[in-house]
Amino acid sequence: MTSFSDLGLAPKVLRAVSDAGYETPTPIQTGAIPPALEGRDVLGIAQTGTGKTAGFVLPMVTMLARGRARARMPRSLVLCPTRELAAQVAENFDTYSQHVKLTKALLIGGVSFKEQDILIDKGVDVLIATPGRLLDHFERGKLLLTGVQIMVVDEADRMLDMGFIPDIERIFGLTPFTRQTLFFSATMAPEIERITNTFLSNPERIEVARQATASETIEQAVVMFKGSRRDRTAKEKRAVLRAIIEAEGDACTNAIIFCNRKTDVDILSKSLKKHGFNAAPIHGDLEQSQRTRTLDSFRDKELKLLVASDVAARGLDIPSVSHVFNFDVPGHAEDYVHRIGRTGRAGREGKAIMICEPRDKKALAAVENLIAKDIPRVDNPMNAPELAPKREPRETEPRKAKKQEPKQEPKQAPKPRSKKPRGEKEGVVGMGDHMPSFIAKSFDDRMAS
């Protein structure tokens, strides 16, 4: 069995790995670290939770231990699709470089430019950034990328989903042609393949698992749900989720609940809290400080349920998540793999349960086609007698005797109007009872003839 000492890492890096409690490298680490240390380009393809981050951080720390950074010219660059993933990569560098003098800067949104400019001006060995914020600093003239020796693109397929590919191509053009490139992705879409063919030079390809496969340690299930009425479907679906969580009982120590839309994340989180669940939301529209506090609370076991959009589906290192609940079937089948990859990490067992409405059947079929297996259907727990919503009996009051109203005297018929001669002003005389003489005379003449 391969150990970290067999991979060619520096002694100080091995010491940091040992301090972190790791003994055996994962397959992606075993395959990626040796060619990276040789200076070769690396194309790593592996599912979420297989240790890709350490697969590039460890060789980078070893190689960057020699040398010194210059002002505004970072020696290495790591690009990440989300703030959370970038922050996690920065934490990995802190862990594995604790015995090596390396400087780093984290360029993400939600943090003031001034603080980041100060770090860049001092010179950094490692620059970790999201593409948008990196280009903002470059366009402001605060950053030069001509000194980059090692460039890493992490979660490349997520970059594609988020529309960062044009930015990635531009950033590649700003770095030296002689740089070393480490490119990691969970799937290889045609657009990703084109970029690797353009910007990587004879890369060492490491594919440790079939593309878009879920870990075998994850138990998967889907609950078929149909609302009683269109205007009640959303409310009833939230009730189904609560019943699923309650049915899992103590086995559900913590969980991530995924929604397709940010608005649903907020609504569902408020609903869960209203019903007594320990839940909080996380999505891209929240302030970075709030997102950081929420994630820290979830990692520290203070928060049980994390209601998230797909911004939290990639790369978050939360090793002991017992459950993943897909409140919505993801629109992109690949997102299902990344979502449920939040549980069952590092060989642990996990469980993933998804709620599927009739309108989601095509998306469910796409997921099953991608993972090449049928997801077992399980009964809706709301159908269980102990969990089914109980209908309140209608309150019936004894019929009250109707109040008998006093009998009214029958109305008398109105008195007929007295016929008045035509000349009086008391009323208008109708043609029915009175015929003018000239008409009567004319009528008599015609009858006589």
What is the pLDDT confidence band of residue 348, given thresholds at 50, 70 and 90? confident
Per residue in 43-56, pLDDT tens? 998 866 678 899 99
How many other CB atoms are found less than 10 A from the CB of residue 414? Answer: 6
Does pTM surpass 0.85?
A: no
What is the pLDDT confidence band of residue 413, given thresholds at 50, 70 and 90? low
Looking at residue 342, its pLDDT comes to 85
- Residue 128 tokens, joined: 């970790």
Looking at residue 134, its pLDDT comes to 95
Looking at residue 277, its pLDDT comes to 97
CA-closest candidate to residue 194, choices 168, 231, 162, 219:
168
Looking at residue 234, its pLDDT comes to 94
Q: Is the pLDDT of residue 418 over 80?
A: no
How many other CB atoms are found less than 10 A from the CB of residue 330? Answer: 23
Q: Which amino acid is at 433?
A: D
Q: Are 28 and 204 in contact (CB under 8 A)?
A: no
Give CA–CA dist 144/127, Å, rounded: 11
- Residue 314 tokens, joined: 């990639």
Per residue in 142-184, pLDDT tens? 999 999 999 999 988 888 878 899 999 999 999 999 999 999 9
What is the pLDDT confidence band of residue 435, given thresholds at 50, 70 and 90? low
Looking at residue 337, its pLDDT comes to 84
Domains along the chain?
4-207 (3.40.50.300), 218-383 (3.40.50.300)
Looking at residue 68, its pLDDT comes to 83
Torsion angle defined by CA atoms of residues 53, 317, 332 and 303, in that order, rounded to the nearest 10 degrees:
-170
Q: Are 123 and 73 in contact (CB under 8 A)?
A: yes
Q: Are 224 and 379 in contact (CB under 8 A)?
A: no
List 356's β-bridge partners, or say none: 224
Lowest mean pLDDT among 240-244, 266-270, 295-299, 361-365: 295-299
